[in-house]
Amino acid sequence: MIEYKMMKAEENILKRIFFDENKNWTRFVKANGPRIRKVVLEEVKKFRLCGEQEAGFSLYSCVFCGDTKVIPHRCKSRFCSVCATGYMQEWSKKVVENMYEIAHRHIMFTVPEELWEIFLRRRDLLKDLMDISYELLNKWFREKEKLEVGMMVGLHTFGATMNFNSHVHVMVTEGGMTKDGTMKYIGFIPYEMMRVRWKNKVIEMLRKKLSSRDKKRYEKAVNKAYNDRKKGFVVNGPPNKRKCKIKDQIGYIGRYIRRPAIALRRIIAYDGKKVRFKYFDKKEKREKTETIDVMEFIARIIRHIPDRNFKTIRYYGLYSRRKKREIDKILNIKRNKIPKKQWKDKVEEGMGKNPLICKCYLQHYMAYF
């Protein structure tokens, strides 16, 4: 029986798993070095140094009493859950402020389990999933009313157990802009028809872009996914009469774009050799736990670090960078630039006190040195 030490809430359990006295990350790199992507090595290194003085720091001092405060720099890594929290909050607020005042729908596009390995090995094809989701929805609205829609597309690659489950989340305007420059609402989206088109386009893309070797390797998987008419490919969204709150949905998508594939609160125990975590089983509709070897845990979590410069959030149509300014001008919308918050402002919001106020009786603001 393995004896587990339960973690305190303030500890970063992920850092312990990777870098404690067991040197799990060092052992993992030694065993798998040539197979580890360069971006993974870089992101994990930044994560290790996050909040440590050796990675750099800012020094503040009170000019009256001489008291000093050292503020270590944060890593801003895609693998750091601490840095992700602040980033997600600012990003969500900015996105919501830049959306047009028309109803939006949150739609999810999935691919069957048989194809997950293909996208894990051919990460360049993940962008195609994002592009296809836009093309299908945009084509539907153009066929229906000759409208151009706006879409924000987010790519998620992980499931509840950190399995590589590539799927796409879309925030799409329920309608769009007509040729005369007015916004028109169209609420109905035919999910079943969209599902069939989604399946056909994804399979067509794979058969076109896979190498001859991969076509042979994955032939059975691709054919099985195509021939299964009821399972695997899913296009799912809320009922037409149920409106989604944009702020809530943007927050939901944002929680996954800059953090590890598992939230720290879900890691419930670690003993140096094994990791136990909890997850919600959607099929059985109940919470479960799983215990796995620490090397397996590391392998599962790092495969979800995106490639360098890969954008896990993309904007299309009315929300594309090329179109946005043009549409804002047509609709006479003036955007106010949202100032980026400094670390001291974020700390003050969370703790209710400015961290740069000195503890001396003068309570003077510390100066940067």
- pLDDT, tens digit (0-9, with 9 covering 90-100), for 340-355: 777 677 666 655 677 7
Which residues pair with residue 154 across a beta bridge?
169, 313
Three-state SS at 340: coil
Q: How confident is the model at residue 1 (pLDDT cuts 50, 70, 90)?
A: very low
Check residue 43 and give its pLDDT: 93
Token pair of 332 as six digits: 């006479």
Question: Is the confidence at residue 3, as pLDDT, over 80?
Answer: no
Check residue 109 and give its pLDDT: 96
Average pLDDT over residues 177-187: 86
Token pair of 219 as six digits: 């032939």
> How many angstroms separate the CA atoms of 103 and 149, rounded?
11
Are 61 and 364 in contact by the 8 Å Cβ rule? The answer is no
DSSP line for 302-333: HTTSPPTT--SEEEEETTSHHHHHHHHHHTT-
Which amino acid type is present at position 309? N
Check residue 243 and give its pLDDT: 56
Check residue 182 and give its pLDDT: 85
Which residues pair with residue 156 across a beta bridge?
167
The domain segmentation of the chain, as residue ranges, is 13-77+340-368, 81-261+310-330
Check residue 70 and give its pLDDT: 84
pLDDT digits (tens, 9 = 90+) for 280-336: 998 899 999 999 999 999 999 999 999 999 999 999 999 998 888 888 888 888 776
Average pLDDT over residues 148-158: 93
Residue with tokens 């603001």: 365
pLDDT digits (tens, 9 = 90+) for 108-140: 999 999 999 999 999 999 999 999 999 999 999
> How many angstroms separate the CA atoms of 16 and 22, rounded?
9
Three-state SS at 6: coil
Three-state SS at 256: coil
Q: How many CA atoms lie within 13 A of 30 on its CB side?
A: 5
